[in-house]
């Protein structure tokens, strides 16, 4: 019975996700010579990919960008979740959660356009900064890494906030009360009780945010305006140039990096499992 | 403690800042759509509805909109059927490989969308359905299914089993338990997952871009390609119409209501 119920999902995931994935990666073992794909097994594409300084740069920039934005999102996301869980009024709670939900319900294209409008030379941010005398000429905030990072943090923040918020919500208030009864001040309570008990939420948040960031394409493409070359964008350009072997190698490398990080974080998460008993 | 009040106030100020940050791009897109000049500038020069009339007169956007609705609607149907049945199996049955199958079902969330798109592209070529709406629906089903499974199984796991037992004791048959006891309790969560699945599909670009043929784009892809070339407020008008529809649907269904399943929760373990 259980197997029958699982069947539709299994067909979708295995038939249209896992199997085709291998069908695509297979091209990584072919080569691309003079605009044609040569379908004989070879490691040439791998060798060429890993020795090409352009692709090395895209990889380094993607990793740097993902680490940087994950760091910012972690700090902002944690305090947002913390503050959100302190809100008592249901009306405010609803407004806050709908706003935090926005990037999940509004198209990434719309959000990217919004950031282009906000951060452009004639946009509101520059307008205000000029009027307030903070700067004397419009600052360049789009078509560079800055714009890409702002929009990435914005579009993926919910994936950081919701797991942390849920972990914080599961902590029994009695634990915090007893800590303060025993004379711990708010900082000690936070560091010794709240933070450790929410770490598994933090780890899920990092997992989701980081991997989504590594694979993001629309936001860096539009905000970077062709000047910020990340792996996903390079894959897109390879595909357009019909260079499937290169795209397959890049996609494989991206997947290996993400999976490696996920497994590492899983091990880390297991170390915090002993705290589960306290919930 | 006097410090307590001050800290809470500081947290609320921070929360207000984050909320403004999250709302800002959408707010200014709406504002830009009423601007009467063809470039983005703040403050707006004057009020105009010209971009709306140009959108509604453009067959490209209107056709793409209908195409997207068909794709997203079909995707929602497919993922709801597959997702609900799978959630039942995962929550209500014990079998070997249960943890593994759940983990496998959820992997598309953390797989780069671009890789999913490329695989679907190769699959479409091999099945000779490249450029068809079917190929897009298949790809979007892979992307939306994990969210449905995650939200529906959270809702199912939270049910009180005693109600079902009571119904059975009173002579209810299994289908009756399903329709009269289980379904009413998870109705809201299911509506939320359906809306979420629809929107995942409707706004998908990262993967869809490899599946569409020129002249047969979905709305999100059409907007992406438009934005790559032009940046006049036409795109803001399209976006505003979409945001208005989305917000209307979301507030009816109550997405984001505390207590309904939130995406991403429970995926980490």
Residues 6+ apart with CB under 8 A from A144: A224, A227, A228
pLDDT one-digit tens code per residue, A61-104:
999 999 999 999 999 999 999 999 988 888 888 889 888 888 88
User: What domain range includes position A193?
Assistant: 69-278
**Distance of alpha carbon B84 from alpha carbon B63, whole angstroms:** 31
**Distance of alpha carbon B93 from alpha carbon B162, whole angstroms:** 17
H-assigned helices in A139-274? 145-170, 173-181, 186-189, 195-215, 218-224, 231-240, 244-271
Which B residues, 114 through 143, put their C-beta within 8 Å of a C-beta on chain A? 114-116, 118-123, 126, 138-139, 141-142
**Nearest CA-CA distance, residue B164 and chain A, Å:** 19
Contact between A204 and B269 under an 8 Å Cβ cutoff? The reply is: yes
**Nearest CA-CA distance, residue B264 and chain A, Å:** 6
Confidence of residue B265 (pLDDT cuts 50, 70, 90): very low
Give residue for tokens 């000779």: B128
Beta bridge partners of B260: B258
**Distance of alpha carbon B125 from alpha carbon B137, whole angstroms:** 15
Confidence of residue B131 (pLDDT cuts 50, 70, 90): confident
Tokens representing residue B227 in the block: 């934005």
**Nearest CA-CA distance, residue A192 and chain B, Å:** 18
pLDDT one-digit tens code per residue, A182-206:
877 888 888 888 888 888 889 889 9
Residue A278 has pLDDT above 60, yes or no: no
Nearest CA to B233 out of B24, B20, B45 is that of B45
Nearest CB partner across the interface for A20, out of B7, B101, B122 = B122
What pLDDT score was predicted for residue B70? 96
Taking every pair of Cα atoms in chain B, the longest distance, rounded to a whole number of angstroms, is 70
| Structural domain contains residue A94 | yes
Torsion from C-alpha of B261, B263, B264, B266, nearest 10 degrees: 20
Task: State percent of chain B over pLDDT 70.
Answer: 93
What pLDDT score was predicted for residue B261? 44
Residue A279 has pLDDT above 60, yes or no: no
Mean pLDDT of B208-225: 91
Length of chain A: 279
Q: The pTM is what?
A: 0.87
**Distance of alpha carbon B49 from alpha carbon B34, whole angstroms:** 6
Domain count, chain A: 1
Backbone angles phi, psi at A264, to 5 degrees: -60, -45
**Distance of alpha carbon A220 from alpha carbon B172, whole angstroms:** 55
Question: Which residues of chain B have a CB within 8 Å of the CB of A224?
Answer: none
pLDDT one-digit tens code per residue, A173-185:
888 778 878 877 8
**Distance of alpha carbon A259 from alpha carbon A145, whole angstroms:** 25
Q: Where are the domains of chain B?
A: 17-162+189-253
Mean confidence (pLDDT) of chain A: 87
**Bond into B43 cis (ω within 30):** yes
Residues B219, B222, B224, B230: is their CA dihedral positive or negative? negative
Residue B263 has pLDDT above 70, yes or no: no
Return the H-helix or E-strand segment holding A32: strand A31-33
Residue B36 has pLDDT above 80, yes or no: no
pLDDT one-digit tens code per residue, A33-51:
877 888 888 888 888 888 8
What pLDDT score was predicted for residue A204? 87
Note whether B112 contacts A215, CB cutoff 8 Å.
Answer: yes
Nearest CB partner across the interface for B25, out of A8, A114, A269 = A114
Note whether A108 contacts B19, CB cutoff 8 Å.
Answer: no
Give residue for tokens 């649907």: B249
**Nearest CA-CA distance, residue B149 and chain A, Å:** 9
| Structural domain contains residue A14 | no
| Structural domain contains residue A233 | yes
- CATH code, domain with A125: 1.10.3720.10
Contact between A192 and A179 under an 8 Å Cβ cutoff? The reply is: yes
Residue B267 has pLDDT above 60, yes or no: no
Note whether B15 contacts A87, CB cutoff 8 Å.
Answer: yes
Question: Which residues of chain A have a CB within 8 Å of the CB of B19?
Answer: 95-96, 99-100
Return the H-helix or E-strand segment holding A37: strand A36-38
B225 interfacial to chain A (CB closer than 8 Å): no
DSSP A274: G
Using left for φ > 0, alpha for ψ between -120 and 50, and beta otherwise, residue A143 falls in left
Note whether A215 contacts B115, CB cutoff 8 Å.
Answer: yes
Question: Which residues of chain A have a CB within 8 Å of the CB of B116?
Answer: 17, 21
pLDDT one-digit tens code per residue, B137-154:
999 999 999 999 999 998
**Nearest CA-CA distance, residue B130 and chain A, Å:** 14
- Classify domain B17-162+189-253 by CATH architecture: Orthogonal Bundle (1.10)
What pLDDT score was predicted for residue A277? 46
| Structural domain contains residue A115 | yes
**Distance of alpha carbon B42 from alpha carbon A228, whole angstroms:** 26
**Nearest CA-CA distance, residue A77 and chain B, Å:** 9
Confidence of residue B210 (pLDDT cuts 50, 70, 90): very high
Which B residues, 155 through 194, put their C-beta within 8 Å of a C-beta on chain A? none
Question: Which residues of chain A have a CB within 8 Å of the CB of B206?
Answer: 108, 215-218, 232
């Amino acid at each position: 019975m259980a197997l029958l119920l699982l069947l539709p999902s299994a067909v979708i995931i295995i038939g249209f996700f896992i199997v085709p994935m291998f069908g695509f990666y297979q091209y990584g073992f072919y080569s691309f010579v003079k605009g044609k794909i040569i379908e004989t097994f070879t490691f040439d594409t791998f060798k060429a990919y890993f020795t090409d300084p352009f692709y090395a740069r895209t990889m380094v920039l993607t990793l740097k960008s993902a680490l940087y934005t994950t760091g910012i999102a972690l700090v902002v996301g944690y305090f947002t979740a913390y503050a959100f869980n302190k809100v008592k009024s249901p009306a405010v709670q609803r407004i806050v959660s709908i706003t935090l939900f926005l990037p999940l319900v509004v198209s990434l294209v719309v959000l990217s356009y919004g950031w282009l409008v906000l951060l452009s030379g004639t946009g509101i941010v520059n307008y205000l900064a000029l009027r307030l005398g903070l700067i004397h000429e419009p600052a360049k905030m789009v078509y560079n890494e800055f714009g890409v990072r702002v929009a990435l943090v914005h579009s993926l923040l919910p994936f950081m906030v919701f797991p942390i918020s849920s972990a914080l919500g599961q902590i029994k208030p009695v634990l915090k009360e007893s800590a303060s009864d025993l004379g711990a001040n708010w900082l000690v309570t936070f560091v010794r009780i709240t933070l450790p008990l929410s770490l598994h939420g933090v780890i899920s948040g990092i997992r989701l945010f980081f991997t989504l960031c590594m694979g993001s394409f629309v936001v860096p493409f539009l905000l970077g305006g062709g000047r910020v070359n990340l792996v996903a964008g390079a894959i897109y350009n390879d595909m357009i140039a019909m260079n499937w072997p290169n795209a397959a190698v890049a996609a494989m490398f991206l997947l290996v990096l993400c999976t490696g990080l996920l497994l590492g974080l899983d091990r880390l998460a297991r170390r915090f499992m002993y705290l589960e008993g306290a919930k | 403690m006097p410090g307590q009040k001050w800290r809470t106030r500081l947290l609320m100020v921070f929360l207000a800042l984050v909320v403004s940050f999250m709302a800002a791009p959408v707010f200014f897109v709406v504002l830009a759509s009423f601007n009467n000049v063809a470039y983005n500038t703040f403050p707006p020069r004057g009020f105009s509805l010209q971009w709306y009339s140009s959108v509604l007169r453009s067959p490209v956007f209107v056709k793409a909109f209908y195409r997207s609705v068909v794709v997203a609607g079909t995707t929602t149907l497919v993922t709801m059927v597959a997702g609900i049945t799978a959630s039942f199996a995962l929550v209500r049955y014990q079998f070997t490989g249960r943890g593994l199958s759940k983990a496998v079902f959820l992997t598309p969330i953390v797989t780069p969308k671009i890789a999913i798109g490329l695989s679907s592209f190769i699959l479409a070529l091999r099945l000779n359905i490249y450029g068809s709406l079917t190929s897009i629906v298949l790809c979007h089903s892979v992307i939306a299914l994990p969210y449905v499974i995650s939200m529906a199984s959270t809702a199912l796991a939270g049910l009180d089993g005693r109600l079902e037992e009571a119904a059975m004791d009173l002579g209810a048959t299994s289908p009756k338990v399903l329709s009269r006891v289980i379904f009413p309790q998870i109705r809201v969560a299911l509506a939320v997952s359906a809306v979420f699945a629809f929107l995942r599909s409707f706004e998908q670009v990262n993967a869809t871009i490899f599946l569409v043929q020129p002249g047969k784009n979905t709305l999100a892809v059409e907007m992406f390609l438009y934005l790559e070339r032009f940046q006049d407020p036409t795109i803001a008008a399209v976006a505003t119409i979409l945001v208005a529809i989305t917000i209307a649907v979301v507030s009816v269904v109550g997405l984001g209501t505390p207590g309904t399943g939130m995406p991403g929760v429970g995926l980490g373990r």
